[in-house]
Structure 1
């Protein structure tokens, strides 16, 4: 454990309870990386106590906190913030302590994700008051700069995934893995229309999506720490929404802006990635040569057949090179270093994943 730097903090929400309460394993690992690298947690008292005494204690803590934080402090927080008092902390610091650097890590944008215009309007209003951001990729950066033209932005590239990379041998085949909460990915009900591809599904789901099919195999639920070492197949699929023909529906549209945590899962597993050509992560897949993009899943069979064994192994080697960075938490630290450079020099920094 590194010595705490008394000017670096983060608002803690995800390590306060066992299991996954808000967000996913990626949110917890972000806080673990910050802790390991000297960031001090800002944790309010009586977090899950809603009695009037607990609320009063948190209000007193907030009022004191506003004036004891160092003048040039940096405070990282993940958006969305789930505790109302954390949102108040950000707003009051912006108003009363403008010298403090507030770094908003956009892990999700709920208004876009849920197609909720009221929520999106509130998020845009808050983003317009902030300056420093970490975003997933170029697509999210473009969207953010439309809302806040004066934002200073660092690209994350890939979510860190602090598990052991899987360097076991794989060979090209038509086996395609898909992992995550399957219940929101309605396109999987039509995978039987792609009989030339074998789909391997990992995660919790509703049974109606898993009707019998010779080419769709449900592999159950694995812990995030174990999954990179046990996931099967030759490719990992980044897809969402209602259709195998494109990014349709609310979740399909959201895929145009994000780099899902499962992208890093596939990289750690040594699985070249398949993404939609218009997905937010598509440029990462192409630029790092860690897979390929398609416009519809009906293109999978012909595209896989056209990839040579050597091309496939080169994609795998590129995945494993990235895995060495992702598994050590370097993506977040690199993004924070870029923002620190921008703050200290007044100059924009080069963005990237490495």
Structure 2
């Protein structure tokens, strides 16, 4: 038996909806809805502790975004004339309007509103929400519980692009420097995460437990400032596109392969790879289609696993026969144009 805090939550759940407890460590699925209670089956996890949060990724909760406690807290905050107020678990643009009405009815101070995006239905309506909010926070903690975690970076990019289009500031938040709660130095992955937020043109990065319970809050801020400052300098120095590289003559050949594939809307690039060089060069041009590397040695196929977009296969028969069609079919590509690279020869053929 688990006690959920709001009747509106209970009334919003339907059979088949998921209930996630303790940051998604426990998953339950609703199997029955009765007056005053929900019957659910535990799908994943075992022990349930008290005072843990819950998430409802499949449910549009029919309730006010402001709980009674929220209203009391906001009443007090308004007396301090804050610059910004952030709203948690926004689902729809009407949530922002409700909070704005609450504030403007109590003060003439120009308090701006940040909508925290941490629910799938908010992601689906991000343009509408950003249009009525004054700013957006990508709250990746709860968001990564409610959506597949591997989609969070792509969702973050989408939100940033939307906010830039609509002229709304956007904050990247959650675990930016999480290990610095107990460490004086961030991990390399955290350094890249903070820098990428700057490269993606996020307006701000945000700390949480790093500065609330961390061993060196000042050090956290100094570290983050160093990373974003350098990333900004780099973005200014390479203002066209930070991900592009200089078009040096050495890359003309591989760029022509990628351009041929792009201009002919090819389904794939097939490379007969005696070594890793040609395939790696084409991969570094970042074509948006698969690069199928047909190899005759295991070591070459294994090494090419590191390169973006490359699908290596070791097959002496396909390699010896230069069978690009069956190589493509092996990866589920059954139609369209193929750009075929065999040594210095580049050709375009149609797979039928």
User: Normalization by structure 1: what TM-score?
Assistant: 0.26
Is the radius of gyration larger for structure 1 or structure 2? Answer: 2
User: Normalization by structure 2: what TM-score?
Assistant: 0.26
Higher relative contact order (CA 8 A, sep 6+): 1
